[in-house]
Amino acid sequence: MKKANYNLEEIFAMRIQHLLETEKEYLNYFEKLSGTATIKELNASLSPERSEQSNHVSRLQLIVDTMESSSTANSDLLSTAILKELKKIVASKSKPSLLKDVQILTVLKSVYAFKSAAYSSLQVIAEKLQLEQPALLLEQSLEDSGNNMAYLIQIERNVIYPQFKS
């Protein structure tokens, strides 16, 4: 039976574990999508180096490894929906096209919006719990996610949509 009330440490542990598992899935899907877009900048945004995905996983793993609690992750509807959309795009047999690029872009923006919200909330909790090192690591990943979102918006404005003729 699920516990009705959690303390802040337990919530932090559950959310960190969930985000770690989700980040690993994102990394897997990004690898599978890499090279499927027609726009080279969009393909570049999927690379672990450009997206900093590997660093996010490493930072989260470091936080989990230093925690005393071994809490299990609870999934949430938003991350489940985003992962479902990533899975659909990966499974799609459609040929690379601008339409597929728009679909990839839309889901990637959803990924970074989710990640920004998750990292921001977890950073605030870490600060409240006076977990200085985790707060700094979460802040770095939050900044990366914001930079990735800005890069996707640049691609959207300057590369993808200008290719559509009116």
CATH code for the part of the protein at 8-163: 1.20.1260.10
pLDDT of residue 73: 65
pLDDT of residue 69: 66
- How far apart CA 7 and CA 28 sit, in angstroms, is 32
pLDDT of residue 15: 93
Sequence spans of domains, the chain: 8-163
pLDDT of residue 93: 84
pLDDT of residue 71: 65
| Degrees, nearest 5: CA angle 153-155-157 | 65
pLDDT of residue 78: 87
pLDDT mean for each 10 residues of the chain (166 residues): 78 93 93 90 86 89 85 77 92 89 94 96 97 97 95 94 79
- How far apart CA 131 and CA 128 sit, in angstroms, is 8
pLDDT of residue 1: 45
Helical ranges in 34-131 per DSSP H: 40-45, 48-51, 53-66, 77-91, 98-128
